[in-house]
């Protein structure tokens, strides 16, 4: 391959070099994209050529195996450069260790450059690695280059989400375009081919152009034909080499080629000199994937099978053959036993490294060849596959696998295994929101276990049972079963179940307003920490935050959520992160921190793939905030929240949505609509005897003018308000730190209370609520009602910026320009500039006048 | 993206001079708005300059409030609006 200067690539090359320069002050990611054959690899090679020896350069690639190698590029780099990364991968240390080792490599002081090629083929773990590095690369001096085919990205390709997640300020995009006619003319000049014809046929695709020009023949109709025309010039030995190598995506070890093809060396040399292939290290590979596929297709089915079998045999003899490759060749060679063995092993390895998508794919292949497996092994294989299907959102396949496993255990009369499988199946059904079916599976499992002495399976089934009851808010049952489940889990040393049950039990107690719940959840936190179970720890924080929020203990909720959110960010636990952010926005809303509430809610709503429950809670917060402020868009948020909640049919989504909608309606003066909204969830709340939901919904029905009975278990503040005990309620809300709710209660009181309510509403910016109280005060003939938020104390009429107000404030204290500069860490020149702007805006000529004018207009620092 | 009308009150009267300094204020306001994807279209001002009705394009009401706070501009009320003019029905 000649690199006598790539044509029309000066600008992309400069972009990469400039970005790398910037990376020296803060790491950067470059995305190089374009259609197949556009020259991404050539560009990157030209770029790395320009890097001096002082920098560390490492390259890894993703290949087009049926199922990609998990952490393929990381393996490539580890093989070449060794070190901590290789140790982490070889020792089966698991994901966190591998990712941390990779990050350390990026932290090296010598401005490392890392290249991952063809990430449109990346496995799930590599995608997660890219996300992980992208979030942290700003703190390093590293430059990460990713190449991919943008024409292979469907709308839902997982790479899109990863790209969307990369921090924009540390990212640069280089898109490669086809060559112009002029460039093709330049390339064609030596061979005398008809440039215009070539350009038309190839669309300016560099690889296609090269192939056509090299084949020396006429203009081929397709790239494939061009490649085959070129390959037709190979001698028989060289063609054998090419054919053999074509079945191995990513290239083939020269040692293996020599084993399989007599006189391979000459053939290899010929392939290289003709430019069809190239060597990198001890691997021979096609110059381009397009070429490999063309040669591969030309082999025919029989030929493919034979050559794959040969490569498989040679690979088996190696020391540490990669499982994904063995699985690929076994499948392609149609060797069923080998395909089963290697796919299973590859699946297990992939799962450890968090490549769940790949694990699921490998298991699918394994199952296809599993007909002759002894039943027990087949059952276990099905269950392992089902778990991976669950992890990757392939619920239907997971259920089918579980059903098949259950049938096996049933045939063998293995009641315990059957019950355990049913238990896990209910877990899957819960995960996709099919709670009634989960319930049925659960009950079947439990009744099966009745005749059997208590064992570990009981712990498992009871754990799922408790979890489901908690989700359904069947609190009394959840608590009773949870206590049993806890004993069982501890007795049988089932740590997973113990943590899970502590969470369910603790949450159930909390939503019943029983503080003992905190003990259980804190115990769960301690366990998760002690055993390094990040996922469970995040869940425990999430439960502590959301359950506290559900019973309006917002100050406490905020403490847990702040800690939990930070933990999730550090450990890339996105699912829990989103849910906790949504709940934190609710906590901020009810504590009167409206700006923070907006920020957190907006962060969740901006996510393209947020979970439904996270989105619902964020929409509730946003909708409620807008309604309270009187801003547009409240019903847009609350309508979507209702639609999403209706799909779940669970109380802890429906009740808050209806309460928020009732409030929004009431703030618009639609009292009967408010009562109707609240009534819609009332039945379900009462069926579950949920103190807080029943109280709030009863309250809004009362506000809407509907007669309603308030049961004695209904929670205080709202219940009191519905019974006219506004003063006690206001006290309670004040103790909870909820200013808006306090004002709401006061607004139901006497004139003085109402005046206080107006003051609070004004301070919060709750325009509709304030207006409603003012109206009622006027109707009662009250004269001296405060007029509204004093705009002059909140804003600078002259349009001073925040910085200018800050500087004016310091000048008013008597500081000189130089002192101001030192105080706020800017240059004296900048201060002078600001001061003259201030004088102009205030329309005065001196600092003294400025201070006086400002005081007259009540300019106050923000 | 939506269009909003933002009502503001300036008890002392809005002071925005139609000169170079005024232009600097506008430039600063625009720069801050850009950070949140907010665009100031134009404003209507009462003769005594105590009340303004400002037309903005922006992604959400929260973005409008965010940039208003940074620009030290008060907000009385935000309403979502669409344009309707006499030529619409022709």
Alpha-carbon distance B22 to nearest alpha carbon in chain A (angstroms): 7
**Relative orientation angle of helices A95-106 and A124-136, to the nearest 10 degrees:** 40
Q: Do A841 and B17 make contact, defined as CB atoms within 8 angstroms?
A: yes
Residue for token digits 């990863």? A162
Contacts of A599 in chain B (CB under 8 A): 62
Interface with chain A: mutation pick from B74, B77, B82, highest number of A CBs within 10 Å: B74
The string of pLDDT tens digits covering residues A366-420 is 999 999 999 999 999 999 999 999 888 888 999 999 999 999 999 999 999 999 9
Give Cα A173 distance to the centre of its chain: 22
The whole-number pLDDT of residue A801 equals 67
- Within 10 A of A413 (CB to CB), how many other CB atoms are there? 8
Q: Do A799 and B71 make contact, defined as CB atoms within 8 angstroms?
A: yes
Q: List the single residue in A792, A800, A802 with the smallest CB-CB distance to B12.
A: A792
Q: How many residues does chain A have?
A: 862
| A385 and A351 Cβ atoms separated by less than 8 Å | no
Q: Which residue has the higher pLDDT, A150 or A344?
A: A344
Q: Which residue has the higher pLDDT, A602 or A281?
A: A602
Q: List the single residue in A602, A626, A795 with the smallest CB-CB distance to B72.
A: A795
**Relative orientation angle of helices A828-842 and A847-856, to the nearest 10 degrees:** 50
Q: How does residue A72 score in pLDDT terms, banded at 50, 70 and 90? A: very high
What is the DSSP code (8-state) at residue A523? H
Q: Do A802 and B70 make contact, defined as CB atoms within 8 angstroms?
A: yes
Q: How many residues does chain B have?
A: 90
At A136, list the tokens. 């942290």
Interface with chain B: mutation pick from A627, A632, A763, A845, highest number of B CBs within 10 Å: A632
**Percent of chain A topping pLDDT 90:** 67
CA-to-CA distance for A401 and A385, rounded, in angstroms?
A: 7
Terminal-to-terminal C-alpha distance of chain A: 64
| DSSP result, A294-348 | HHHHTTHHHHHHHHHHHHHHHHHTSSS--HHHHHHHHHHTT-HHHHHHHHHHHHH
Terminal-to-terminal C-alpha distance of chain B: 26
Q: List the single residue in A599, A632, A805 with the smallest CB-CB distance to B78.
A: A632
Mean pLDDT value of segment A238-264? 92
Lowest mean pLDDT among A154-168, A228-242, B76-90: B76-90
- Within 10 A of A416 (CB to CB), how many other CB atoms are there? 18
Provide the 3-class DSSP secondary structure of residue B4: strand
CA-to-CA distance for A260 and A242, rounded, in angstroms?
A: 12
Alpha-carbon distance B53 to nearest alpha carbon in chain A (angstroms): 15
Identify the sign of the CA torsion A685, A688, A689, A691: negative
Alpha-carbon distance B54 to nearest alpha carbon in chain A (angstroms): 14
Per-residue CA distances from A71 to A126, A219, A830 (Å) = 5, 40, 51
Give Cα A410 distance to the centre of its chain: 39
A55-69, A76-90, A648-662 — most confident range: A648-662
Using a CB–CB cut-off of 8 Å, the residues of B that contact A are 2, 4, 8-17, 21, 24-25, 28-29, 32, 60-62, 65-66, 69-74, 76-80
Give me the half-sphere count of Cα atoms (radius 13 Å) on the Cβ side of residue A704: 26
CA-to-CA distance for A740 and A760, rounded, in angstroms?
A: 7
Q: Which residues contact A5 (CB under 8 A, 6 or more apart)?
A: none
The string of pLDDT tens digits covering residues A690-713 is 999 999 999 999 999 999 999 999
The string of pLDDT tens digits covering residues A521-546 is 999 999 999 998 888 999 999 999 99
Measured at the alpha carbon of residue A658, what is the angle toward residues A657 and A662, in degrees to the nearest 5? 120
Q: Do A630 and B2 make contact, defined as CB atoms within 8 angstroms?
A: no
Entry pTM = 0.80
The whole-number pLDDT of residue A698 equals 97
Q: List the single residue in A595, A767, A841 with the smallest CB-CB distance to B21.
A: A841
Does residue A53 carry a pLDDT above 80?
Answer: no
Contacts of A800 in chain B (CB under 8 A): 72
Interface with chain A: mutation pick from B15, B20, B51, highest number of A CBs within 10 Å: B15
A717-720 long-range CB contacts below 8 Å, 24 or more apart? A717/A552, A717/A741, A717/A745, A718/A692, A719/A695
User: Between β-strands A277-280 and A113-117, what pairing exists: parallel, antiparallel or unpaired?
Assistant: unpaired
User: Between β-strands A113-117 and A143-149, what pairing exists: parallel, antiparallel or unpaired?
Assistant: parallel
Alpha-carbon distance B48 to nearest alpha carbon in chain A (angstroms): 13
Q: How many CB pairs under 8 A join A and B?
A: 87
Q: Do B16 and A799 make contact, defined as CB atoms within 8 angstroms?
A: yes
The torsion defined by the Cα of A852, A853, A859 and A860, in degrees rounded to 10, comes to -20
CA-to-CA distance for A332 and B71, rounded, in angstroms?
A: 65
User: Between β-strands A252-253 and A283-286, what pairing exists: parallel, antiparallel or unpaired?
Assistant: antiparallel
- Within 10 A of A221 (CB to CB), how many other CB atoms are there? 9
Q: List the single residue in B2, B4, B60 with the smallest CB-CB distance to A602.
A: B60
Q: Do A841 and B15 make contact, defined as CB atoms within 8 angstroms?
A: yes
What is the DSSP code (8-state) at residue A68? P
Provide the 3-class DSSP secondary structure of residue A353: coil
Q: List the single residue in B25, B29, B62 with the smallest CB-CB distance to A602.
A: B62
Contacts of B61 in chain A (CB under 8 A): 626, 629, 631-633
Measured at the alpha carbon of residue A280, what is the angle toward residues A279 and A284, in degrees to the nearest 5? 40
Q: Do B69 and A598 make contact, defined as CB atoms within 8 angstroms?
A: no
Contacts of B24 in chain A (CB under 8 A): 837
Does residue A3 carry a pLDDT above 60?
Answer: no
| A118 and A148 Cβ atoms separated by less than 8 Å | yes
Q: List the single residue in A797, A802, A842 with the smallest CB-CB distance to B10.
A: A797
At A214, list the tokens. 């090299």
Q: Do B12 and A800 make contact, defined as CB atoms within 8 angstroms?
A: no
Q: Which residue has the higher pLDDT, A845 or A796?
A: A845
Mean pLDDT value of segment A480-499? 94
**Relative orientation angle of helices A124-136 and A158-165, to the nearest 10 degrees:** 10
Alpha-carbon distance B49 to nearest alpha carbon in chain A (angstroms): 10
CA-to-CA distance for A201 and A529, rounded, in angstroms?
A: 63
Q: List the single residue in B24, B32, B77 with the smallest CB-CB distance to A767.
A: B77
Q: Do B14 and A840 make contact, defined as CB atoms within 8 angstroms?
A: no
Nearest chain A residue to B49, by CA: A797
What is the predicted ipTM?
Answer: 0.90
Q: List the single residue in B13, B21, B71 with the smallest CB-CB distance to A797.
A: B13
Provide the 3-class DSSP secondary structure of residue A225: helix
The string of pLDDT tens digits covering residues A806-821 is 788 788 777 888 888 8
Does residue A185 carry a pLDDT above 80?
Answer: yes
The string of pLDDT tens digits covering residues A732-785 is 999 999 999 999 999 999 999 999 999 999 999 999 999 999 999 999 888 878
| A290 and A207 Cβ atoms separated by less than 8 Å | yes
Contacts of A798 in chain B (CB under 8 A): 15-16
CA-to-CA distance for A446 and A438, rounded, in angstroms?
A: 12
User: Between β-strands A28-34 and B51-58, what pairing exists: parallel, antiparallel or unpaired?
Assistant: unpaired
| A102 and A129 Cβ atoms separated by less than 8 Å | yes
Q: How does residue A862 score in pLDDT terms, banded at 50, 70 and 90? A: very low
Alpha-carbon distance B85 to nearest alpha carbon in chain A (angstroms): 22
Q: Do B10 and A857 make contact, defined as CB atoms within 8 angstroms?
A: no
Q: What are phi and psi of A571, to 5 degrees?
A: -110, 15
| A523 and A482 Cβ atoms separated by less than 8 Å | no
Give me the half-sphere count of Cα atoms (radius 13 Å) on the Cβ side of residue A837: 22
Alpha-carbon distance A580 to nearest alpha carbon in chain B (angstroms): 21
What is the DSSP code (8-state) at residue A797? T
| A198 and A212 Cβ atoms separated by less than 8 Å | yes
Alpha-carbon distance A758 to nearest alpha carbon in chain B (angstroms): 15
Q: Do A795 and B73 make contact, defined as CB atoms within 8 angstroms?
A: yes
Contacts of B72 in chain A (CB under 8 A): 795-796, 799-802, 805, 862
Q: List the single residue in B2, B61, B70 with the smallest CB-CB distance to A626.
A: B61
Q: What are phi and psi of A499, to 5 degrees?
A: -65, -45
Provide the 3-class DSSP secondary structure of residue B79: strand
Alpha-carbon distance A856 to nearest alpha carbon in chain B (angstroms): 10
At A488, list the tokens. 């069982």
At A827, list the tokens. 């240059």
Mean pLDDT value of segment A59-75? 92
A167-171, A388-392, A464-468, A647-651 — most confident range: A464-468
CA-to-CA distance for A512 and A551, rounded, in angstroms?
A: 8
The string of pLDDT tens digits covering residues A828-847 is 888 888 888 888 777 777 88
The string of pLDDT tens digits covering residues A313-332 is 999 998 888 899 999 999 99
Alpha-carbon distance A293 to nearest alpha carbon in chain B (angstroms): 46
Query: How much of chain A is helix, strand and coil, in % rounded to 5?
Result: 70, 5, 25
What is the DSSP code (8-state) at residue A86? H
Using a CB–CB cut-off of 8 Å, the residues of A that contact B are 595, 598-599, 602, 626, 629-633, 767, 789-792, 794-802, 805, 837, 840-843, 857, 862
């Amino acid at each position: 391959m000649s690199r006598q200067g790539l044509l029309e690539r000066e600008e992309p090359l400069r972009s990469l070099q400039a970005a790398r320069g910037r990376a020296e002050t803060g790491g950067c990611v470059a995305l190089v994209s374009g259609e197949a054959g556009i020259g991404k690899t050539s560009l990157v090679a030209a770029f790395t050529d320009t890097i001096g020896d002082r920098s560390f350069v490492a390259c890894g690639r993703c290949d087009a195996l049926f199922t990609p190698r998990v952490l393929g590029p990381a393996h490539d780099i580890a093989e070449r450069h060794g070190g901590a990364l290789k140790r982490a991968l070889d020792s089966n240390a698991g994901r966190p260790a591998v990712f941390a080792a990779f990050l350390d490599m990026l932290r090296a002081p010598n401005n490392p450059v890392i290249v991952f090629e063809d990430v449109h083929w990346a496995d799930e773990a590599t995608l997660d690695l890219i996300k992980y590095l992208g979030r942290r690369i700003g703190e390093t001096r590293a430059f990460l280059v990713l190449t991919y085919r943008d024409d292979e990205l469907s709308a839902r390709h997982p790479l899109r989400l990863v790209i969307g997640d990369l921090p924009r300020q540390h990212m640069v995009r280089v898109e490669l375009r086809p060559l112009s006619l002029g460039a093709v003319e330049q390339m064609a000049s030596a061979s005398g081919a008809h440039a215009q014809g070539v350009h038309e046929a190839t669309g300016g695709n560099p690889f296609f152009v090269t192939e056509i020009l090299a084949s020396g023949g006429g203009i081929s109709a397709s790239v494939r034909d061009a490649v085959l025309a070129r390959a037709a010039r190979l001698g028989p030995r060289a063609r054998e080499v090419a054919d053999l190598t074509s079945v191995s995506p990513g290239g083939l070890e020269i040692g293996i080629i020599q084993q399989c093809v007599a006189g391979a060396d000459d053939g290899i040399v010929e392939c290289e000199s003709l430019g069809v292939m190239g060597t990198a290290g001890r691997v021979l590979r096609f110059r381009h994937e397009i070429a490999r596929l063309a040669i591969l297709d030309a082999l025919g089915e029989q030929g493919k099978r034979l050559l794959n079998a040969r490569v498989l045999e040679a690979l088996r003899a190696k020391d540490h053959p990669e499982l994904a490759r063995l699985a690929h060749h076994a499948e392609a060679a149609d060797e069923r036993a080998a395909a089963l063995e290697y796919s299973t092993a590859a699946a297990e390895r992939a799962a450890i490294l968090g490549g769940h998508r790949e694990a699921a794919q490998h298991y699918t292949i394994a199952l296809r060849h599993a007909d002759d497996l002894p039943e027990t092994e087949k059952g276990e294989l099905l269950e392992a596959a089902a778990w991976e299907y669950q992890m990757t959102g392939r619920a239907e396949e997971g259920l089918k696998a579980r059903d098949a496993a259950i049938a096996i255990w049933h045939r063998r009369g293995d009641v315990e295994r059957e019950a355990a499988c049913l238990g896990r199946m209910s877990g899957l059904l819960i995960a996709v929101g099919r709670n009634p079916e989960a319930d049925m599976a659960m009950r079947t499992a439990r009744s099966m276990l009745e005749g059997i002495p208590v064992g570990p399976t009981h712990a498992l089934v009871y754990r799922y049972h408790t979890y489901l009851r908690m989700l359904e808010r069947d609190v009394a049952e959840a608590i009773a079963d949870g206590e049993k489940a806890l004993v069982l889990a501890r007795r049988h040393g089932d740590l997973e179940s113990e943590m899970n049950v502590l969470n369910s039990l603790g949450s159930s107690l909390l939503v019943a307003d029983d503080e003992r719940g905190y003990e259980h959840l804190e115990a769960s936190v301690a366990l998760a920490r002690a055993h390094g179970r990040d996922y469970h720890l995040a869940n425990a924080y999430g439960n502590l935050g959301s359950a506290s929020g559900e019973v309006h203990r917002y100050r406490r909720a905020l403490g847990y959520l702040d800690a939990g959110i930070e933990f999730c960010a550090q450990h890339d636990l996105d699912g829990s992160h989103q849910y906790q952010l949504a709940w934190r926005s609710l906590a901020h809303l009810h504590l009167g921190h409206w700006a923070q509430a907006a920020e957190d809610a907006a962060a969740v709503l901006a996510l393209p793939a947020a979970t439904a429950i996270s989105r619902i809670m964020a929409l509730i917060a946003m909708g409620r905030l807008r309604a309270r402020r009187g801003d547009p868009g409240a019903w847009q948020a609350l309508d979507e929240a209702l639609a999403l909640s209706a799909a779940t049919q669970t109380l802890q989504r429906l009740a808050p949505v209806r309460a928020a909608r009732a409030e929004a309606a009431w703030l618009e003066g639609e009292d009967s609509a408010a009562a109707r909204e609240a009534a819609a969830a009332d039945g379900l709340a009462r069926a579950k005897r949920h103190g807080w939901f029943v109280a709030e919904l009863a309250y809004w029905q009362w506000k809407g003018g509907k007669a309603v009975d308030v049961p004695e278990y209904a929670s205080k503040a709202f219940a009191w308000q519905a019974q006219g005990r506004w003063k006690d309620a206001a006290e309670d809300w004040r103790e909870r730190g909820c200013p808006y709710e306090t004002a709401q209660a006061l607004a139901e009181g006497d004139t003085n209370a109402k005046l206080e309510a107006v003051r609070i509403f004004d301070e919060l910016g709750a325009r509709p609520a304030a207006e409603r109280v003012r109206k009622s005060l006027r109707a009662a003939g009250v004269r001296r009602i405060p007029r509204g938020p004093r705009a002059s104390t909140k804003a600078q009429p002259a349009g001073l910026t925040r910085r200018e107000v800050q500087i004016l404030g310091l000048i008013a204290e008597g500081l000189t320009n130089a002192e101001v500069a030192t105080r706020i860490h800017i240059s004296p020149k900048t201060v002078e500039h600001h001061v003259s702007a201030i004088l102009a805006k205030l329309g005065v000529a001196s600092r003294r006048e400025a201070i006086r004018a400002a005081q007259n207009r009540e300019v106050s620092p923000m | 993206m939506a269009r909003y009308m933002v009502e503001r009150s300036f008890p002392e009267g809005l002071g925005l001079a139609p000169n170079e300094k005024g232009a600097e204020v506008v430039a600063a306001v625009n720069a801050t708005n850009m950070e949140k994807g907010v665009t100031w279209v134009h404003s209507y001002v009462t003769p005594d300059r105590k009340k303004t009705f400002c037309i903005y394009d922006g992604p959400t009401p929260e973005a409008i409030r965010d940039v208003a706070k940074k620009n030290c501009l008060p907000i009385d009320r935000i309403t979502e609006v669409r344009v309707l003019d006499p030529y619409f029905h022709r």
